[in-house]
Chain A
């Protein structure tokens, strides 16, 4: 007789609330239902009540971890609406800021994973080292998270030679941290044993359910918006799209750990080849058109759609966040695995429910809810 195991919304140590209903038989998960809505804020509605510039702050607050890439993707799309070309220096600066964000996001995720696996030493080490990135971002942009560094037409703050020197200093330490993490994943029994063959997502299924980002790359698919549809200055920078073939939690972990090294390489190159010139141009009047923008967030492909009616308030903004796409893959991963692994598997896609929670429809008057049914 199958029983229902509920995880969440607030019970497990998930960083964010979400309810998982697992249908379990003989300790095996046979089906999953994900219920969202605890972080729903009606952001897409709010987008249509503010000006393009004010919306930058709102886009950023879709997610407090990958906040920068939301402003980047939104700004890119809005630049399409306004027919604005950003200066070369701004393109390179955007790469630097966004890769710094990827670093702090991946390290945070590693910290959470170590926390989940009760590896307290590793957790403290990663989080302590990660503080250096946070300090650096605060020094460069003026805030630890929600830095609002990208604006329509460029970036808001420049990187002076003094700042560049500080970035390189921090990156040197981060390289050591990344190598330490990779070493853990190669030789540390605790990590390898607990994550190997957990939550396997075969290549074919990963493609079928439309997984994105490290979740997809962990299943051996070479897909990365930075390479497939280059934006900012990624076309001029040399980096490898990291993939692992196994498709289990270990592979996804390895992908993220190796990606941090690639991010460090990108920042170093961008700093070396940083063109001179302006860091932003003035936004123009919005044209009457629609536009789609894509970017590679730390968790995968992020899509923005904006429809403009020519006024300075967008008519419609639609956001497709990576965690939303990966939720479907999560269902596949959970199915067939044992229930004790459920939390680890959920963590392994690095879910960001703040991003995803814009899809539950709640009628405030009648209290009727329509969630995302994944049964």
Chain B
């Protein structure tokens, strides 16, 4: 039994209630929330911890402020789920004024969409400094679980397909001169797995890691860095070098007849689109590109 008595009051505004159900499920004896001395109460006056879910809309904001005011000390606020952490998929929603940390001070974030009950309980235990039973049948995740992302730095070509298909704009492509950063904000992610499905080189994998709680949400990301290629003519960085290498390989695979023109193709592709338009004298490359274009159109 933990010594401190924790009384959690649940507050939701502008969420899907998935996280609420997860908190509700924590009451099941299996999750041992009671062992930590934690109970869920139904008025803010009885509570000392506020578990906020949802991205908070204009109507909920006032209520949230009121609930926070009524809270007993030490007034701990826990943001449960990705909506409560970063507004998640609802970021562009017109009535959304959250995330909650813009309205009340938040002490702990538990990312996930929704976080597993185990993640919620373990985050609370961590905050209390209590260790929990570590049996596999309790903490284990099944094969194919969609958790935190992992990059295979060897495979990633920095093409940005993941950012294109992302259902909640959680993936950012940041170009910084000689390097491109592919940044996955898993605190904004819906864990739909579209990025994993669409990655042409299988460089993104959703792992079984789900204990994502943090007190600094700015650290809730995984990032990969790829090298950028300099244009041979103007010298500007315009595309990741791995992407060009990958594209050349694919062309060779698809159109093996042009294998002996590989060198020319590589040269031509190392010129940025702007410069390419200006050149007239790279004869071989031009010929190659035109014939490739014709071939694709025919097939």
The 8 Å CB contact of A39, one of B15, B24, B142, B168, is B15
A143: B residues at CB distance < 8 A: 113, 145-146, 191
Task: Specify the chain A residue showing the minimal Cβ separation from B141.
Answer: A138
A–B pairs, 24, beta carbons within 8 Å? A11-B43, A16-B17, A38-B14, A40-B14, A41-B90, A42-B94, A43-B90, A46-B90, A46-B93, A54-B166, A61-B89, A62-B16, A64-B21, A64-B114, A65-B17, A111-B24, A131-B25, A131-B28, A135-B142, A139-B143, A143-B145, A146-B190, A157-B144, A360-B59
Task: Specify the chain A residue showing the minimal Cβ separation from B31.
Answer: A131
B180: A residues at CB distance < 8 A: none
* Pairwise interchain contact A354-B57, C-beta atoms closer than 8 A: no
A39-B17, A138-B142 given; 6 more Cβ-contact pairs under 8 Å: A41-B95, A57-B89, A124-B28, A127-B25, A142-B146, A156-B193
Task: Specify the chain A residue showing the minimal Cβ separation from B137.
Answer: A135
B38: A residues at CB distance < 8 A: none
A127: B residues at CB distance < 8 A: 25, 27-28
Chain A: number of interface residues, binned into ranges = 35 or more
- Expressed in whole angstroms, the minimum distance between the Cβ of A161 and any Cβ of chain B is 15
Task: Specify the chain B residue showing the minimal Cβ separation from A63.
Answer: B16
* Pairwise interchain contact A13-B21, C-beta atoms closer than 8 A: no
The answer to whether A134 and B95 touch (CB under 8 A), given A144-B114, A354-B16, A362-B57, is: no
Is the C-beta of A118 less than 8 angstroms from some C-beta in chain B? no
* Pairwise interchain contact A41-B144, C-beta atoms closer than 8 A: no
Chain B, range 38-74, C-beta contacts under 8 Å to A: 42-44, 54-55, 57-60, 63, 67
Is the C-beta of B237 less than 8 angstroms from some C-beta in chain A? no
Is the C-beta of A306 less than 8 angstroms from some C-beta in chain B? no
* Pairwise interchain contact B59-A362, C-beta atoms closer than 8 A: yes
- Expressed in whole angstroms, the minimum distance between the Cβ of B55 and any Cβ of chain A is 7
Task: Specify the chain B residue showing the minimal Cβ separation from A51.
Answer: B165
**Contact mask A140-159 → B, CB, 8 Å, 1/0?**
01111110100000001100
Is the C-beta of B211 less than 8 angstroms from some C-beta in chain A? no
Chain B, range 3-27, C-beta contacts under 8 Å to A: 11-22, 24-25, 27
- Expressed in whole angstroms, the minimum distance between the Cβ of B266 and any Cβ of chain A is 32
B141: A residues at CB distance < 8 A: 138
Is the C-beta of A279 less than 8 angstroms from some C-beta in chain B? no
* Pairwise interchain contact B60-A38, C-beta atoms closer than 8 A: yes
B146: A residues at CB distance < 8 A: 142-143
A145: B residues at CB distance < 8 A: 18, 21-22, 114
* Pairwise interchain contact A40-B95, C-beta atoms closer than 8 A: yes
* Pairwise interchain contact A124-B20, C-beta atoms closer than 8 A: no
* Pairwise interchain contact A37-B57, C-beta atoms closer than 8 A: yes
B190: A residues at CB distance < 8 A: 57, 61, 146, 148
* Pairwise interchain contact B12-A39, C-beta atoms closer than 8 A: yes
Is the C-beta of A165 less than 8 angstroms from some C-beta in chain B? no
- Shortest 3 CB-CB distances between A and B: which pairs? A64-B18, A57-B167, A42-B93
- Expressed in whole angstroms, the minimum distance between the Cβ of A374 and any Cβ of chain B is 17
Q: Whole-angstrom distance between the alpha carbons of A57 and B89 in the complex?
A: 8
- Expressed in whole angstroms, the minimum distance between the Cβ of B244 and any Cβ of chain A is 27
Is the C-beta of B221 less than 8 angstroms from some C-beta in chain A? no
* Pairwise interchain contact A54-B167, C-beta atoms closer than 8 A: yes
Name which of A53, A57, A111, A134 has the most chain B CB atoms within 10 A of its CB.
Answer: A57
Q: Whole-angstrom distance between the alpha carbons of A64 and B116 in the complex?
A: 13
* Pairwise interchain contact B16-A15, C-beta atoms closer than 8 A: no
Chain A, range 1-31, C-beta contacts under 8 Å to B: 9-13, 15-17
B192: A residues at CB distance < 8 A: 56-57, 148
* Pairwise interchain contact A364-B11, C-beta atoms closer than 8 A: no
Q: Whole-angstrom distance between the alpha carbons of A144 and B18 in the complex?
A: 9
* Pairwise interchain contact B12-A17, C-beta atoms closer than 8 A: yes
Q: Whole-angstrom distance between the alpha carbons of A53 and B193 in the complex?
A: 12
Is the C-beta of B29 less than 8 angstroms from some C-beta in chain A? yes
Q: Whole-angstrom distance between the alpha carbons of A62 and B89 in the complex?
A: 11
Is the C-beta of A82 less than 8 angstroms from some C-beta in chain B? no
A156: B residues at CB distance < 8 A: 193
Task: Specify the chain B residue showing the minimal Cβ separation from A148.
Answer: B192
**Contact mask B98-121 → A, CB, 8 Å, 1/0?**
000000000000000110100000
Q: Whole-angstrom distance between the alpha carbons of A217 and B182 in the complex?
A: 52
* Pairwise interchain contact A367-B58, C-beta atoms closer than 8 A: yes
* Pairwise interchain contact B20-A16, C-beta atoms closer than 8 A: yes
B166: A residues at CB distance < 8 A: 54
Is the C-beta of B92 less than 8 angstroms from some C-beta in chain A? yes
Q: Whole-angstrom distance between the alpha carbons of A139 and B137 in the complex?
A: 13
* Pairwise interchain contact A364-B13, C-beta atoms closer than 8 A: no
Chain A, range 141-189, C-beta contacts under 8 Å to B: 141-146, 148, 156-157
Is the C-beta of B246 less than 8 angstroms from some C-beta in chain A? no
Is the C-beta of A50 less than 8 angstroms from some C-beta in chain B? yes
* Pairwise interchain contact A41-B93, C-beta atoms closer than 8 A: yes
B22: A residues at CB distance < 8 A: 144-145
